């Protein structure tokens, strides 16, 4: 008979996740936000019809729409920056269950100091090492923040897909860069594959958040044994989000153009544009269509 495989030793102490993880890349990646701002400037003065519940609402500019995308991403940048600060609390020196058994009393401070030097971030030792050893709440917060960012980015991609849909029988307000032939049967069809791949990344991130939440809940007593799957989820989600933002910027947003003639025709034929929103003193400024009354 074959001999049994050797047993792997598994540490019984708390898992130590890299404090920085890959958050530096995500936080530093403000290129997509700036790309939307730049495109907004390029679309200045182009009037279009805004929509609520997929129905025509009131006029706005394409610049305002794209600047809204940029502001959304700026808010997510702020949220991700904030949550990373809480990743700086560590439990090194806690050993098995947080009592510090078998650890040199100087170890916790030495480890904290060296980690701070290596990462360049504020690293602090948790005030209660027993609580810090059993608690994984910060990882749920990180995952939830990533999911929120992914969902908002996916919503932006939904808007881009709709705004670029057509070209003959739909909105067709903007042109997305053609990156892939859509069909051998319909040779003129070009699918919005870049926004779609970002949608798919968002689905993965949402699923990862469910996995991490279940792993956090499944811990018992003084140690959560499911740190490996939590680390896997966070590393993968960070990697996917970084790549998704980069490809959306490079392969889609920076190449978008406006269908000015179609937008002009839509505005000219829009009833509210003539009955309610036009006249002396009406203009599209920082807030949509402000009119002064003589």
CA atoms within 13 A on the CB side of 208: 30
Calculate ∠ Cα 264-165-62, nearest 5°. Answer: 40
Token pair recorded at residue 59: 């006029």
DSSP run (H or E) holding 122:
none
Burial level of 168, CB count in 10 A (0-12/13-18/19+)?
Answer: exposed
- Contact assessment for residue 106 and residue 137, using Cβ atoms and an 8 Å cutoff: no
Q: Return the bridge partners of 90, or none.
A: 125
Strands 124-125 and 89-90: parallel
Closest CA to 135 of 168, 93, 90, 165: 90
Contacts 24+ apart (CB under 8 A), 51-55: none
Neighbour-count burial for 228-238, b at 16+ CB within 10 Å, e otherwise? eebbebbeebb
Closest CA to 273 of 40, 67, 50: 50
Q: How much is the CA Rg of the chain, to the nearest whole Å? A: 26
Active site includes 165? no
Report d(CA 89, CA 249) in Å as an integer: 34
Closest CA to 152 of 194, 205, 192: 205
- Contact assessment for residue 246 and residue 201, using Cβ atoms and an 8 Å cutoff: no
Which residue among the candidates 79, 154, 165, 183 is catalytic per the annotation? 183
Catalytic residue numbers read: 183
């Amino acid at each position: 008979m074959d001999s049994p495989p050797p047993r792997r030793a598994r540490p019984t102490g708390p898992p130590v996740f890299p404090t920085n993880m890959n958050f530096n890349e995500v936080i530093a990646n403000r290129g997509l936000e700036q790309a939307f701002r730049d495109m907004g400037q390029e679309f200045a003065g182009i009037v279009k019809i805004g929509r609520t519940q997929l129905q025509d609402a009131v006029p706005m500019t394409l610049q305002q729409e794209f600047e809204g995308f940029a502001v959304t991403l700026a808010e997510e940048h702020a949220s991700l920056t904030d949550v990373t600060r809480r990743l700086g609390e560590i439990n090194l020196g806690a050993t098995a269950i947080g009592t510090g058994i078998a650890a040199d009393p100087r170890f916790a401070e030495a480890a904290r100091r060296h980690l701070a030097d290596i990462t360049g971030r504020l690293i602090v030792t948790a005030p209660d090492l027993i609580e810090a050893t059993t608690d994984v709440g910060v990882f749920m917060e990180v995952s939830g923040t990533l999911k929120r960012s992914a969902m908002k980015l996916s919503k932006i991609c939904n808007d881009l897909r709709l705004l670029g849909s057509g070209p003959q029988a739909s909105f067709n307000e903007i042109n997305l860069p053609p990156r892939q032939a859509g069909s051998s049967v319909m040779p003129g069809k070009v699918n919005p594959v870049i926004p779609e791949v970002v949608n798919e990344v968002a689905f993965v991130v949402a699923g990862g958040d469910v996995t991490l939440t279940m792993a956090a809940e499944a811990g018992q007593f003084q140690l959560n044994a499911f740190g490996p799957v939590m680390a896997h989820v966070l590393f993968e989600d960070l990697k996917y989000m970084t790549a998704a933002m980069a490809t959306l910027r490079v392969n889609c947003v920076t190449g978008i153009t406006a269908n000015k003639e179609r937008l002009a025709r839509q505005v000219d034929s829009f009833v509210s544009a003539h009955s309610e929103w036009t006249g002396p003193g009406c203009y599209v400024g920082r807030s949509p269509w402000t009119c002064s009354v003589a």
